[in-house]
């Protein structure tokens, strides 16, 4: 597998982090992904209230992360 120089540097930086730091980074990235998904849903469907938005988000995440297709 070919990695660019910047990808190699990123991997080197990640290898230097503790497992706890890597876990926290992953959790932060997931949280930011969820916020980006919410923003996209709000943009596409501005009429949704908070409860409906959460329902749509949950449905979308189940589809994305489901092992069953």
Would you write out the chain's pLDDT as a tens digit for each of its 69 residues? 789 999 999 999 999 999 999 999 999 999 999 999 999 999 999 999 999 999 999 999 898 888 665
- Return all residues near 34 (Cβ < 8 A) that are at least 6 apart: 57, 61
pLDDT for the residue 1: 75
What pLDDT is attached to residue 54?
A: 95
Identify the pLDDT of residue 68: 64
As a whole number of angstroms, the distance between CA 29 and CA 22 comes to 11
């Amino acid at each position: 597998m070919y990695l660019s120089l910047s990808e190699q540097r990123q991997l080197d930086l990640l290898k230097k982090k503790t497992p706890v730091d890597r876990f926290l980074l992953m959790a932060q990235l997931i949280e930011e992904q969820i916020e980006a998904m919410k923003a996209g849903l709000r943009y596409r469907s501005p009429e949704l209230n908070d409860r409906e938005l959460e329902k749509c988000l949950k449905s979308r995440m189940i589809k994305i992360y489901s092992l069953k297709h």
